[in-house]
Amino acid sequence: GDQVEQSPSALSLHEGTGSALRCNFTTTMRAVQWFRKNSRGSLINLFYLASGTKENGRLKSAFDSKERYSTLHIRDAQLEDSGTYFCAAEDGSSGNKLIFGIGTLLSVKP
């Protein structure tokens, strides 16, 4: 099965609200990255975590290698937050390759 299970696949939020995206891993991962794909198709780095939590503005991410999951919290969502979000986990036993989740399509509405 898939090593990185990302949920939800789609999420709709009203402006000013928040929610969380989650990635579960079937094996122990060394690190995780979160990206947002912008309207031009570019992957924008949001976070890199080897452990613990990081916060940047209205985004906060956590990674627990032992419990095999990572989350991305969005608060006070804005229209420009819309896009597709991906988590990608690093399987340290496979030469640092990133395994991507399926992505979450976030739509923020007025």
Partner 1 sequence: GALVYQYPRRTICKSGTSMRMECQAVGFQATSVAWYRQSPQKTFELIALSTVNSAIKYEQNFTQEKFPISHPNLSFSSMTVLNAYLEDRGLYLCGARDLGAAETLYFGSGTRLTVL
The residue ranges that bind partner 1 (CB under 8 A) are 31, 33, 35, 40-43, 45, 48, 50, 86, 88, 95-103
Cα(106)–Cα(12) distance, integer angstroms: 6
Cβ closer to partner 1: 42 or 66? 42
Smallest separation, CB 17 to partner 1 (Å): 26
Among residues 77 and 104, whose Cβ is nearest to partner 1? 104
The terminus-to-terminus CA distance of the chain in angstroms comes to 38
The three-state (H, E, C) secondary structure of 21-70, written as one string: EEEEECCCCCEEEEEEECCCCCEEEEEEECCEEEEECCEEEEEECCCCEE
Rounded CA separation 84/22 (Å): 13
CB of 57 to partner 1, least distance (A): 18
- Min dist. Cβ of residue 70 to partner 1 (A): 15
Nearest to partner 1 of 55, 76 (CB atom): 55
Query: Which residues partner with 64 through β-bridges?
Result: 69
As measured in angstroms, the least distance from the Cβ of 77 to partner 1 is 23
Q: Would you say 99 or 108 has its CB closer to partner 1? A: 99
